[in-house]
Structure 1
Amino acid sequence: METLAAFQAALKDQTNTIAFISSENCSVCHVDEPKARKLAEEFEIPFYHLDIMQEPELAGFFKVLTVPAVLVYHEGKEIARQARFIDFHTLEKLVQQLPKQSEETDYQTLFN
């Protein structure tokens, strides 16, 4: 189990990050956590498993009202969120599209 502080530090250093938020008394969380971890490992994305029972402030920081919740970050910004009923097929398609390295965006080219 990781801490909120460790996750916040990783957001600054990692291009892509996946956070899995759970509760120790959530049976669905126990089933979905290995699936989310495997997805992160498959695409070599840092994975953080956070428990709201151990750190109640997580719910407020992530604005999570139900668990399990999977949050995907790219360059420190949340780009996807799923909670309670997690569609791993959709999540996998999204993760496949993420750039592996941080890229400087050329906005001039993008909007011409």
Structure 2
Amino acid sequence: MPKKSFQEIISSPGMPVLVDFYADWCGPCKTMAPILQQVARQYEGKLKVIKIDVDKNPAVAQQYRVQGIPTLLLFHQGKQLWRQSGVVPAHQLSQVVQQHLK
């Protein structure tokens, strides 16, 4: 099966997609990783969480004007619903996800 493009993933019908733009060398990104894992577990089956390495995918990062990392974007059917740069506490991220779930 061919690998889906970023655009296909965020545009697919169904559940919202939370995108984490990160880099391996980024300290705050490492802080954000367990928070994202927790939220992914909490909303399993209701939310897709994907990670985009800005060093390996500079065109995607540029397309979404990612200037600082971590940057989180929430999409549903291709539409950007929310955006936040920097570390987001788990309770705040859960609130954001909850308000966008149907």
TM-score, normalised to structure 2, is 0.80
| Preserved CA contact (<8 Å) 1:4 1:50 | no
Correspondence 1:83 to 2:82: no
Count of equivalent residues: 97
Report sequence identity in percent: 25
SS of 1:11's partner is helix
Match of 2:96 among 94, 97, 109: 94
Residues 30-81 of structure 1: CA deviation (Å, up to 9, x unaligned): 1202211321231121111110111111221211100011111123211111
Aligned partner of 2:30 in structure 1 is 30
Q: Please list every run of at least 4 consecutive aligned residues from structure 1 whose deviation after the TM superposition is greater than 3 angstroms.
A: none
RMSD: 2.0
Match of 1:71 among 58, 70, 73: 73
Q: Which runs of 5+ in 1 are unaligned?
A: 101-112
Q: Which structure ranks higher in relative contact order (CA pairs < 8 Å, sequence separation ≥ 6)?
A: 2
Q: Which runs of 5+ in 2 are unaligned?
A: none
Given residue 65 of structure 1, which amino acid in structure 2 is its aligned partner?
A: Q
